Structure 1
């Protein structure tokens, strides 16, 4: 599984991104407790920001061969600190080093400071994002819990800055 290709996504990638998005939101529902909408979809405003060309957003699609295997969405491109807003790999390619490679390629496209949020109850994400931060910036990274805007009763997200 060493043939990972990371490329900027565009409007022509709508169909694979929409399908991967559903898998991503389904995976997160285990940790966030969100149910699908009556039509089977999940909220998708971040996906729409990427697909409609919002200048503050960028999407990246990951492939191995002809198969789409994941994506990353970056926001705050016009800000001093970029946010890796959404990151997903399909299960068969996880734990092979592709996620770390994908993040390194995406981060390399937008030099500067970065932040990423994840849920503390997602043990795999906790391990992954700490490993990413260390690989990208050595020990020059920090971690903090932040409340979720507009949802004061929700468990705070963990944010890593590097």
Structure 2
């Protein structure tokens, strides 16, 4: 896929901008309920248990995805091995591009920029019912890794709260020395 028509950037989320990320996470988590059937809390929010950890732990990184001057989404990275595969260096914890910015190459650009930013062996997990995301990640990982990435299905320990086994992708960053 070519470059997006609009200049894009990955901007680290400062602690002062945590509420902006929290707001975007609510939209992301709402969208995800079509796959996980998660309920809101008594305040009508989904909440994200690990949000504060992105400013208190050195092995978590959060970024806004910007399209020109506009906020287009976010990406969250950590070094936790979420799925039991070979030892990976980084995991894509969350990735969200708002509807307005989808199918314009912005998500593809942001994912590639993120993988290049953190050299090493990556993993990411996708809910099997999230067909648009599954197709997106199959395309991105295949193109990014030159076909050397792995897609693993039905991996014990990769289950989502609804019991569905995640589809796990493992691949090496192009910038890995």
Structure 1-normalised TM-score?
Answer: 0.90
- Once residues 147 and 34 of structure 1 are traced to their aligned partners in structure 2, the CA distance between those partners, rounded to angstroms, is 22
Which structure 2 residue ranges, 5 or more long, are not aligned?
A: 81-86, 172-177
Distance 1:80 1:143, change over 3 A: closer
Distance 1:157 1:66, change over 3 A: same
Which structure 1 residue ranges, 5 or more long, are not aligned?
A: none
- Once residues 19 and 37 of structure 1 are traced to their aligned partners in structure 2, the CA distance between those partners, rounded to angstroms, is 15
**Could you tell me how far 1:131 is from its partner in structure 2?**
0.9
**Could you tell me how far 1:104 is from its partner in structure 2?**
0.8
State whether structure 2 residue 7 is matched by structure 1 residue 3: yes
More helix by share: 1
Distance 1:158 1:11, change over 3 A: same
**Could you tell me how far 1:7 is from its partner in structure 2?**
1.4
Q: Aligned-residue CA RMSD in angstroms?
A: 2.2
Q: Secondary structure at the match of 1:125?
A: helix
Q: How many residues align?
A: 161
Asked if 2 retains the 8 angstrom alpha-carbon contact of 1:147 and 1:157, the reply is no
1:157 is matched with which residue: 156, 163, 166? Answer: 166
* Aligned residue in 2 for 1:128: 136
* Aligned residue in 2 for 1:36: 40
Map residues 1-162 of structure 1 onto 2, 5 A cutoff: 1-50=5-54, 52-76=55-79, 80-145=88-153, 146-148=155-157, 154-162=163-171
- Once residues 58 and 109 of structure 1 are traced to their aligned partners in structure 2, the CA distance between those partners, rounded to angstroms, is 11
